[in-house]
Structure 1
């Protein structure tokens, strides 16, 4: 005989609604806990996903050549990214350490033996040449006193450099982790896309495909903007390094291209090269390369990248500019992608809503 408690609860009863609410609260709590666990790795996961999505045609072609063996194709591409990105970073770190040691030796030499004679071209500068030579001689005569007065500021500069070095080191670790995680995005990419599409279908219905395409196009344009800007910075670095006579200009230009993928990457090439010219007492070329690096190699990033990102899409340039710079300020370097994506989705949502509101009602 069936008991009264075994009867099914009708969907319209308050008890059924309470059960559904409890299930939703538990699911949201579980989702929040998962996000909390993944939060330290969110940046690395984001970069791995972007890298896998942007280079997915390579994965598709390589998997086709390997007769559908996705795991082997994913491993080959992941190792290729590690060789292309991680090894140049290690090389530039070792070179930067050598430049720092050379700079410290130069400072100690100047502190003990004084400055070398002022270059002749400094005296020939119009209007300010004589003043610069006089200042040079004054610093040479009172070098020890100047160094003593600069010690507090040197400590502040050292702390600033230490903080920036720690930040750059953290970014390099995140980049290394993302290069490892990209293997799993390559291997399980189709399943992740299918899962994302099913979730969006449950959330927004038939518009899921449209907005997935919108996000994909925006990511492709941002990646093309980053790669195009990196190529332009590499070409400008090659020109400046060849004019200044820095040895290994081609290798340093390739390193500039690789380092353009991370924040403050290109200055890690042209600043040590400028310091090397100073150590070689090539002061004119050092000033030229420093100005060239500041205004052209690093300055082109703020102009060319937004233009390339907005090219080929229906987004206004001002939306792209606000997305790029606002995203960088709000989310760091990850905002370079998040900013344009968020504004692109919001812009299209508002445009679709206004278009539907402008349509006359049917009879």
Structure 2
């Protein structure tokens, strides 16, 4: 249900997204706040980073899984490799595929290849999800890597699939607000300190 809801929202945002952004920019300009424009740009960059993080990680996991399937001798390796891409993007769980392939290898009397498939899937395929995705998102949003990791994991735990988008965006906006607030506070203290010395 969350995936269907996300696709429905994405359809309308892709269809009317430019008009919505333009209206939000006009509102920000009318309010006269440069901070609002900056936060609007930050939100767009973060959402783009999340999308590219999901797609890029899914493709990388699919390629790694496909190579593992080919090396282990799984028939039709391209099909489960492609399915890994799709399952990685929608967050259902690519381990279903490589664990199934390992079980098939064990059943076929290939315990060595089955064990190798389990290790390859656990270390190479699944671990990229925890490293590559936050790295791609942090590059797009120009934010600290740890902040994005916390946003992705926390958002996923709190909101499910939609949390992959909400978590990093909310943390990124909060981070920029705190950053601006501390800069203004430091600037105010500097002015006050300079006034007291003169």
Query: Structure 1-normalised TM-score?
Result: 0.47
Residue from 227, 231, 247 that aligns with 2:59: 231
Q: Is the 8 A contact 2:45 2:140 kept in 1?
A: no
**Residues 181 and 217 of structure 1: CA distance in aligned 2, closer, same or farther (over 3 Å):** closer
Instruction: Indicate the residue corresponding to 1:281 in structure 2.
Output: 109
Greater relative CO, 1 or 2 (CA 8 Å, sep 6+): 2
Mapping for residues 319-358 of structure 1, pairs under 5 Å: 319-358=147-186
Cα deviation digits, residues 263-306 of structure 1 (max 9, x gap): 24312321222222233222221222122112221122112222
Report the structure, 1 or 2, having the larger helix content: 2
Residue from 133, 149, 171 that aligns with 1:305: 133
Instruction: Indicate the residue corresponding to 1:263 in structure 2.
Output: 91
Instruction: Indicate the residue corresponding to 2:124 in structure 1.
Output: 296
Mapping for residues 56-205 of structure 1, pairs under 5 Å: 173-197=1-25, 205=33
How far apart in 1 are the matches of 2:104 and 2:151?
38
How far apart in 2 are the matches of 1:180 and 1:326?
23
Instruction: Indicate the residue corresponding to 2:38 in structure 1.
Output: 210
Query: Structure 2-normalised TM-score?
Result: 0.81
SS of 2:91 mapped into structure 1: coil
Structure 2: state its 5+ residue gaps: none
How far apart in 2 are the matches of 1:204 and 1:345?
19
Q: Give the Å deviation of 1:183.
A: 3.6
Q: Is the 8 A contact 2:6 2:162 kept in 1?
A: no
Residue from 33, 43, 48 that aligns with 1:220: 48
**Residues 190 and 308 of structure 1: CA distance in aligned 2, closer, same or farther (over 3 Å):** closer
Aligned residues: 191
Q: Is the 8 A contact 2:58 2:84 kept in 1?
A: yes
How far apart in 2 are the matches of 1:303 and 1:200?
35
**Residues 310 and 353 of structure 1: CA distance in aligned 2, closer, same or farther (over 3 Å):** same
The worse-fitting range, judged by mean Cα deviation, of 236-245 and 249-258 is: 249-258
Cα deviation digits, residues 221-248 of structure 1 (max 9, x gap): 2222222211221121012101110011
Structure showing greater Rg: 1
Q: Is the 8 A contact 2:65 2:98 kept in 1?
A: yes
How far apart in 2 are the matches of 1:213 and 1:270?
39
How far apart in 1 are the matches of 2:141 and 2:5?
32
Structure 1: state its 5+ residue gaps: 1-172
How far apart in 1 are the matches of 2:56 and 2:68?
18
